[in-house]
Amino acid sequence: MSVAAGAVMYDSTGATAMAGTTADRPFSTSSPFRTPVAPDDAVDQRSDEVVGPLVESGEVVAGLYEYGIPVWRATPGTARVPVRCDPPGDWGECPLEGDGVPVPAEATPHSGSDGAMVVVDEADGLVYEFWQADRTDDGWVTSWGAVNELNGSGWGGASTGAGASRLAGVVRVDEIRDGRIDHALVMQANEVCREVFRAPALKTDGVSDDPNCVPEGARLRLDPSIDLDAVEMTPGERTVARALQTYGAYVIDRTAVPLSISFELAPDATAHDPGEVYRSAGFAWDYFGMPGIPWEGLQLMEEPR
């Protein structure tokens, strides 16, 4: 597959990652992200109270550009560059500091305040994740980050509020092009619980004390009894809706809008255009609300035991 100059790289030519895991299909088959929701899994008794306010507008926004996730790929020839972490508090030893990180010369974070960026090293089977990253004269500085195993669970580190990998659950450009997503998605919510979280989350950045807040790590699912073929949707919405019925989505971060879903930043995206693949699938602008998806059917699944 051809790649535009200076853009995100998707092809897996020469990849030596463990079987079944690549930059395009990360994490173990036993990962929570690659495990479907069973149709008979229990819905939380408080589902309506928790989910109702999040979908009251009838929209859940797609983060396509400003907060789209740039996924870059290092090769064995990619030079390692120094990374310095400058956290907002005493957070201990930063996993990105040390011997340097193989960051492609053309890599850039997204333009949103999270300054997020992911670098996948398939040869070493590692995923480098940046939060509030910025290039310097001799390397990179970032507020924090994480290093996860490409063949791991998709959970670990502090690049997201819940401790999920920043790569995990992101809707990829090729998935929208192909009309198929074979993993759970990731969501961000504005009413995220303070201190309370659910497995597989490792922590939370929530600040809400609302009794109907949503805990990070919670899994949301689109009611599988809904006949999506009978609902009028754009092709992209249908792809997302099918994934939400089959795999659901984990809440992993706090955001300003009621509910959002993470998408990969397209290689041809601009500040005014999310890219040809997204546009052709009906996502004509950043923060597209996906109103065709029957969000009233979104359910909070019961906490795992």
> pLDDT tens-digit profile of 94-126?
999 988 999 999 999 999 999 999 999 999 999
Predicted pLDDT of residue 304 = 81
The mean pLDDT value for 168-177 works out to 98
Q: State which H helix or E strand residue 279 sits in.
A: helix 276-280
Q: State which H helix or E strand residue 196 sits in.
A: strand 192-197
pLDDT of 18 higher than 80: no
Token digits of residue 35: 């495990």
CA–CA separation, 167 and 252 (whole Å): 12
DSSP letter for 154, please: S
Contact (Cβ atoms closer than 8 angstroms) between residue 231 and residue 292: yes
pLDDT of 12 higher than 50: no
CA–CA separation, 299 and 44 (whole Å): 8
Residue type present at position 124: D
Contact (Cβ atoms closer than 8 angstroms) between residue 168 and residue 33: yes
Model confidence band, residue 8 (pLDDT cutoffs 50, 70, 90): very low
The mean pLDDT value for 126-147 works out to 95
pLDDT of 10 higher than 80: no
Model confidence band, residue 90 (pLDDT cutoffs 50, 70, 90): confident
pLDDT of 14 higher than 80: no
Contact (Cβ atoms closer than 8 angstroms) between residue 101 and residue 83: yes
Contact (Cβ atoms closer than 8 angstroms) between residue 164 and residue 201: yes
Predicted pLDDT of residue 20 = 65
The domain locations on the chain are 38-68+170-300, 71-149
pLDDT of 244 higher than 70: yes
Among the listed residues 25, 23, 34, the one whose alpha carbon sits nearest the alpha carbon of residue 183 = 34
CA–CA separation, 12 and 47 (whole Å): 40
State the average pLDDT for the chain: 91
pLDDT greater at residue 193 or residue 11? 193
pLDDT of 220 higher than 50: yes
The mean pLDDT value for 130-148 works out to 94
pLDDT of 17 higher than 90: no
Question: To the nearest whole percent, how much of the chain has pLDDT over 90?
Answer: 86
Backbone φ and ψ of 262, nearest 5°: -85, 130
Model confidence band, residue 21 (pLDDT cutoffs 50, 70, 90): confident
Model confidence band, residue 89 (pLDDT cutoffs 50, 70, 90): confident
CA–CA separation, 284 and 280 (whole Å): 8
CA–CA separation, 292 and 295 (whole Å): 8
The mean pLDDT value for 178-185 works out to 98
pLDDT of 11 higher than 50: no
Q: Residues near 154 by Cβ (< 8 Å), separated by ≥ 6? A: 26, 27, 31, 32, 33, 148, 164, 165, 167, 168, 169
Contact (Cβ atoms closer than 8 angstroms) between residue 140 and residue 103: yes
pLDDT of 2 higher than 70: no
Among the listed residues 153, 211, 198, the one whose alpha carbon sits nearest the alpha carbon of residue 303 = 198
Cα angle for residues 107, 109, 110 (degrees, 5° grid): 130
Predicted pLDDT of residue 55 = 97
- pTM of this structure: 0.91
Model confidence band, residue 158 (pLDDT cutoffs 50, 70, 90): confident
Model confidence band, residue 3 (pLDDT cutoffs 50, 70, 90): very low
Residue type present at position 234: T
Residue type present at position 292: G
